[in-house]
Structure 1
Amino acid sequence: MILAVKNDLSSIAPKLTYDVLIENQEDSTVKATLLSLPECQGLGATKEEALNNLIQLFQARKPEIVTLEIEPAKTEHPWMKFAGMYKDDPQFDQVLEYIEEYRRELDVEMEEYYQQIETKDKTK
C-alpha cells in the first residue's frame, strides 16, 4: 500500500466551512456542536457567545487538515487464475466445436422464431 500525504502550507489558509448544531439547553444556555467533531462543543448564554466559544475551542486545538491518497493494493483479477487452464487439454478443441455447433443451432432456431412472428404480423 502506498500512502501519500498532501499538505499545502500556503501563507494564506483557506476558509473552511463547518456544519454546527445549535441547541437551546434547559438551563437557558445555548450549546453549539461541530457536527463533524461532536466532542467539540461551545456553551454560552446566547447563540453568538456559544459560537464564539466553539471557534476559540476549535482554534485552540490547532487542527491540521491533510489529504491522503491511498493507492489500492495491486491484486490479480480473480478469474485470471483460470485463464488458459485447459490450453493443453486434448478435449478442449472438441468442447469449442460443440459450443460453436450449439450456437449455430440456436441462431437457426431464433431466425425461424423471428420469421414466424413476422409472418403472423403480416397476416393481421
Structure 2
Amino acid sequence: MNLAVKTTSPITVPKLIYDVLIENQQDGTVKAILLGLPDCQGSGNTETETIEKLSQSLQTRLETAKIVTLEIEAPKVENPWMKIAGKYKDEPQFDEMLEYIEEYRRELDKRR
C-alpha cells in the first residue's frame, strides 16, 4: 500500500474552510459547533460573537496541531471476471454461439 502525506509550506498558508452548525439555545444564547470536530465549540449572546469565539478556539487548537491531507492508494483487487476471461477462446463452437447471440439481439431490435 502506498501512503503519501501532503503538507503545506509554512510560507504559503492556505485558507481553511469549515462548516459550522449554529444553534439557538433555549436560554437565548447561540452555540456554534465545528462539524467534524464536535469538541471545538463556541457560544455567545449573538451569532457573530459565537462565531468569533469558535474561531478563536479553533486557532488556539491549530497552534499545537496541523492539518495534512492523507492520500492512500486503493488496494488492488482482482476483477472477478478475469477468472473466466478467455475461458472459451479455444472452444470450436464459440464463434457459432456469438453469431447466435447477435442474431437473437437483431431479432429483438426489430420487435421494438
TM-score (norm 2): 0.70
1:69 is aligned, of 60, 68, 71, to: 71
Name structure 2 gaps, 5 residues minimum.
Answer: none
Query: Aligned Cα RMSD in Å?
Result: 2.9
Tell me how far apart the structure 2 counterparts of residues 57 and 35 of structure 1 sit (CA, whole Å): 14
**Larger helix fraction of residues:** 1
State the AA in 1 paired with 2:22: I
Give 3-state SS (helix, strand or coil) of 1:12's partner: coil
Q: Which runs of 5+ in 1 are unaligned?
A: 115-124
**Partner in structure 1 of residue 37 of structure 2:** 37
Equivalent pairs, count:
106
User: d(CA) in 1 for partners of 2:48 and 2:99?
Assistant: 80
Give me the TM-score of the superposition, normalised by structure 1: 0.65
Higher RCO (C-alpha under 8 Å, 6+ residues apart): 2
Identity of aligned residues (%): 52
Deviations 1:31-63 (A, max 9, x none): 122223233210123323222221121112124
Closer, same or farther: CA 52–103 of 1 in aligned 2, 3 Å = closer
- Cross-structure match for 1:13: 13
Please give the alpha-carbon distance, in whole angstroms, between the structure 2 residues aligned to 1:39 and 1:58: 10
Report how far residue 97 of structure 1 moved: 5.2
Is 2:30–2:47's contact at 8 Å kept on the other side of the alignment?
yes
Query: Hey, what does 1:119 align to over in structure 2?
Result: none
Matched, 1:24 2:24: yes
